[in-house]
């Protein structure tokens, strides 16, 4: 065998697995057909968060006057911002490659295709391995309607030459919501839509309502319960047809309607690896496929498509193989965030899912307040903070925590650790908050 451990896909999961396996003394190689770092680093989480930070300066500008700062005429240089972001991403890529070299991990560029149960081909090279991990991630998909090829996806959002004057966004999931928020802050006219009445399907209803209203308050138009049917090119713009007989003319149309696993071109049948209806790879609780030599993790197995989950699954595979400690992941209480403005974050069960499971045992606590940051601002630029706890039983064990407002992701991240340890409402009540902070509000909910 050429390698002990061969990994297809150098995203977050693949990189974590490679470094951990190498630390156990395994001979490791990574195959990547694009750039190391995968979607998250190159065309997802990292560049998007940098765009969020850039957009925040525009949102804070009106607030500065409330704190007696004099007006100034700032202008965004979009091309410079994009250049700086891509330079940062290139630096991250180089850092990854340096780490691989230091740890003796071979990095092989090209598209991998299976040729057997323990072998793949990259370009003209046949590579064999004792164990193989598939961590190829996913890609944005476009709905099948006339003219959908004229639209862009999240991938192309990081290649825009300028901020569009008007953008239409189809899809009210976290990707559509985040880009609606970003583009609005950069000065674009934003219209976004979803097939549901509320955005962010799967999140707690209170959170969904608050984020949706927050976006509307910022001047974003939301069209509920509608479906895109057709896109036509109209001179240098695009015309989007909706099923409610409305037409929208925009400079760009973003389709943020879902993602699919990157498994189609792997020739998995030659490796005796099974896939499901969504082309996701079927694995057991230890991420092992039907082929005992091949494992799969991350978005390509279609469980929870989050970067930390892919990393955790990948590390579990390495511990199973080389740490001699079979591991699987507990998917309860996985925290997630939506980096829109207002920001939202959640961990655990929504109120409705808790009631479906526990019925009348469910109690919830809710509080809405104005951030101290906005206490000097006029009513036109106020922003509410909303927090919600979902508890179960006489002991009021906390099974869900949800927040909308500044620093929501950071606070829910920390609270998630406590909720995994089955804390109760009394545990929070008997803790001391730091004053004056937003976090202390969680310690005083009645």
Tokens read off for 302: 């279609």
Distance CA 170, CA 92 (A): 31
Cα dihedral 140/143/144/146 (nearest 10):
-110
Distance CA 71, CA 64 (A): 8
Distance CA 268, CA 4 (A): 20
Count the neighbouring beta carbons within 10 Å of the beta carbon of residue 309: 21
Tokens read off for 365: 């606590």
Distance CA 83, CA 76 (A): 13
Residue count of the chain: 446
- Which residues, 6 or more positions from 299, have their beta carbon under 8 angstroms from its beta carbon? 39, 137, 138, 259, 261, 262, 305, 310
Edge-to-edge strand order for the sheet containing 228-234? 228-234, 237-242, 247-250
> Is there a contact between 304 and 331 (Cβ–Cβ < 8 Å)?
yes
277-300: b or e for each residue (b if 16 or more CB lie within 10 Å)? Answer: eebbbebeebbbbebebbbbbbbb
Radius of gyration of the chain (CA): 24
Element (H, E) at 28: strand 28-32
Distance CA 402, CA 203 (A): 9
436 upstream amide cis, omega within 30 of 0: yes
Check if 407 is active-site.
no
CA-to-CA separations, 338 to 52, 125, 343, 405, in angstroms, rounded: 11, 42, 6, 11
How many helices (H) and strands (E) the chain has is answered by: 11, 21
The alpha carbon of 87 is separated from its chain's Cα centroid by a whole number of angstroms, namely: 22
Tokens read off for 430: 């008997």
Can you point out the beta strands (E) in 331-445?
336-338, 344-348, 362-370, 384-392, 397-404
The residues annotated as belonging to the active site are 435
């Amino acid at each position: 065998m050429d390698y002990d451990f061969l990994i297809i896909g150098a995203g977050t999961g693949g990189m974590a697995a490679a470094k951990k396996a190498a630390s156990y003394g395994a001979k490791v190689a990574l195959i990547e057909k694009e750039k190391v770092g995968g979607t998250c680093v190159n065309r997802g989480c990292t560049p998007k968060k940098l765009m969020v930070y850039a957009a925040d300066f525009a949102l804070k500008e009106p607030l500065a006057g409330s704190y007696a700062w004099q007006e100034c005429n700032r202008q965004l240089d979009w091309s410079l911002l994009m250049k700086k972001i891509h330079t940062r991403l290139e630096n991250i890529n180089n850092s990854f490659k340096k780490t691989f070299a230091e740890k003796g991990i071979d990095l092989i560029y090209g598209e991998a295709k299976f040729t057997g149960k323990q072998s793949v081909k990259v370009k003209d090279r046949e590579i064999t391995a004792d164990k193989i991990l598939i961590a190829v991630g996913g890609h944005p998909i476009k709905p099948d309607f006339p003219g959908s090829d004229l639209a862009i996806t999240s991938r192309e959002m990081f290649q825009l030459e300028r901020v569009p004057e008007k953008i239409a966004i189809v899809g009210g999931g976290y990707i559509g919501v985040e880009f609606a928020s970003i583009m609005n802050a950069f000065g674009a006219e934003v219209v976004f839509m979803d097939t549901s009445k509320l955005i962010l399907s799967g999140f707690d209803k209170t959170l969904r309502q608050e984020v949706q209203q927050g976006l509307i308050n910022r001047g974003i138009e939301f069209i509920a319960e509608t479906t895109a049917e057709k896109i036509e090119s109209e001179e240098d713009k695009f015309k989007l047809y909706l099923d409610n007989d409305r037409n929208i003319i925009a400079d760009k149309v973003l389709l943020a309607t879902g993602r699919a696993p990157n498994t189609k071109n792997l020739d998995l049948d030659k490796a005796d690896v099974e896939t499901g209806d969504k082309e996701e790879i079927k694995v057991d609780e230890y991420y092992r496929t039907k082929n005992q030599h091949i494992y799969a993790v991350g978005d390509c197995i279609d469980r929870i498509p989050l970067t930390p989950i892919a990393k955790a699954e990948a590390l579990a595979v390495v511990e199973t193989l080389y740490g001699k400690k079979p591991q699987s992941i507990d998917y309860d209480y996985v925290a997630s965030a939506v980096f829109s403005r207002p920001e939202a974050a959640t961990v655990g069960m929504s109120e409705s899912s808790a009631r479906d499971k526990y019925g009348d045992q469910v109690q919830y606590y809710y509080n809405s307040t104005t951030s101290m940051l906005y206490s000097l601002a006029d009513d036109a630029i106020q922003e509410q903070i909303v927090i919600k706890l979902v508890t179960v039983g006489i002991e009021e064990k906390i099974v869900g925590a949800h927040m909308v407002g500044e620093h929501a992701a950071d606070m829910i991240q920390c609270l998630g650790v406590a909720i995994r340890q089955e804390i109760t409402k009394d545990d929070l009540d008997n803790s001391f908050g730091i004053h004056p902070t937003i976090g202390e509000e969680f310690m005083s909910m009645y």
